[in-house]
Copies of this chain bind each other. A is one copy, B any other.
């Protein structure tokens, strides 16, 4: 089937530009009025080129008719040197042909669609005159109809109404029952100009002087842009009506999980809903506040996605949006660790999806990122903080002014995955280079940052503070970057040491729990599901929060970044239980790209029984387990069921049942 095509990256640059410019915040002015205002993005936002030229040469053995579509009138389909305009139908005879699509559009970006056979538009068109880079056309699985316009993002809409409404504080409060995202419709008989306050929480909506997000409303009927909320408070009115056009991607949750613990089942559903809300043009961090695309956040959403909707297109879109345009002058999101994670994420994408085309397409852009990264390393090739860098790692207290250990681990991981890309695309020079750098950094990190007295990696070996945080130590476990002996020490001295500051973000719980599951400490994970995620649910969360500190009380939970309600209560990085339960309870994971080979190594953990499905590119894998038997039914070949020392071949579409 033909697809709409464009210059690689144009679609993502365009939609990224739009979405990163949609953030608003509410401000109180010196005269006391409160208004919603545009919030400027924190990093450079690139726009797509408004010109595009793509070409394909091929020899056909059967005549075909080409029908040319574009989203701009200033476009040609040049067939063997003759330029035809939009709407042309051109028959070509058997033989060799060249079709060149070229166009310009004053805004948005140029896209082409050619109905045909060999010459139908798809990835096989190449950017012309592109310094010999042989870059393939951009495309999306979502745009395959000539009536499409890829400038319009394909959301679905559903009208929803409040579950309750009440008069309070001189106005009307609507409750939609749970966190939601969409366009708000208001009917206000008085038609007054006012600030309508939105809230992820009841308290936020009513606290009109402090709510993060609001609508500047003027007139009797109002439809807003897309915003996130659970509650709407319309002040200074006796009665009014509200509804929302819920805006979402109609993603199918192919993954599933069920067990005999109702809290965990509910948590899985809340995580899935959190993911749905954050699955948009790309994976968002959260839907209320900035609604931007953050590399570290997206990195985790990819893993959750592989156990939930398994939508490859959204991963590719997110990766390209994060990459942005050229030239690269700052780290992705300005955060050094987010750049390293961005590189690694492409390898995980390949492992889960097997999409080699995308790796080949993005590979030159990864090398451009490396050029930037390497221009800022120290003489040993280790990461060194530069003036413009934001060293994030996590919201936690690090000794992070110098070259911190967690950054070196992620840099090593980026080299380790790049080594594999280079091998895949046959770039032996980079394969050698990345291998050397990877080995050197792991070795140096172990030499410089390991503190034998503490039995742990310290943040900074230069500062003399010998500060130990969980983060680098977790990476060392997770990526196998240290000896077994040291791993044992880390588990004892860091992970199970209450004196080492606890993780407070679901973001870093992802890494911690992934590491703990990897070493078989499932109880650590399920305890955390109960004490950390479970506690959020008990506090009434309908989606997972950005950060959670069980010691806080009431609206203290909503405070962050110095704002009374600035915390996001629907944050994608909280959905990791879906990944953890899919990978370690159902026990399913690929061992060769695209699940050509995979293993199923289920574990009951603390549950009495579990069952569920894990999606793969070519079919689902169903697993169920209780104290008595394991059952696996898979739609694909290549699997091995592992039960202790025993291994069993999983045959496609044949139920495998093993009594325990």
Residues of A within 8 A of B (CB): 17-18, 21, 27, 29-30, 35, 37-38, 40-41, 44-51, 53, 74-76, 82-85, 102-104, 106-108, 129, 131-132, 326-327, 329-330, 387-388
Contact = CB atoms under 8 A, between A and B. Distances in A.
Contacts of A103: 38, 40
A51 B45 CA distance: 7
Contacts of A76: 37-38, 40
Contacts of A327: 326-327
B83 A37 contact: yes
Nearest to A75: B38
Contacts of A48: 47
B37 A85 contact: yes
A27 B330 contact: no
A631 B546 CA distance: 82
Contacts of A107: 106-108
A327 B329 CA distance: 11
Contact of A53 (B17, B35, B40, B106): B40
Q: Quick one: which of A37, A38, A76, A388 has the most chain B CB within 10 A?
A: A38
A107 B72 CA distance: 14
B131 A27 contact: no
Q: Quick one: which of A18, A30, A48, A107 has the most chain B CB within 10 A?
A: A107
B74 A21 contact: yes
Given A18-B106, A47-B50, A51-B21, A330 B131 contact: yes
Contacts of A53: 40
B49 A45 contact: yes
A405 B53 CA distance: 35
Given A21-B104, A131-B329, A83 B49 contact: no
A85 B51 CA distance: 32
A158 B313 CA distance: 54
B50 A45 contact: yes
A327 B103 CA distance: 21
Nearest to A107: B107
Contact of A51 (B41, B83, B388): B41
Nearest to A88: B29
27 contacts: A17-B50, A17-B104, A18-B106, A21-B51, A30-B82, A35-B85, A38-B74, A38-B83, A38-B85, A38-B102, A38-B103, A40-B76, A40-B102, A40-B103, A41-B51, A44-B51, A44-B129, A45-B49, A45-B50, A45-B51, A45-B104, A46-B49, A47-B48, A106-B107, A131-B330, A131-B388, A327-B327
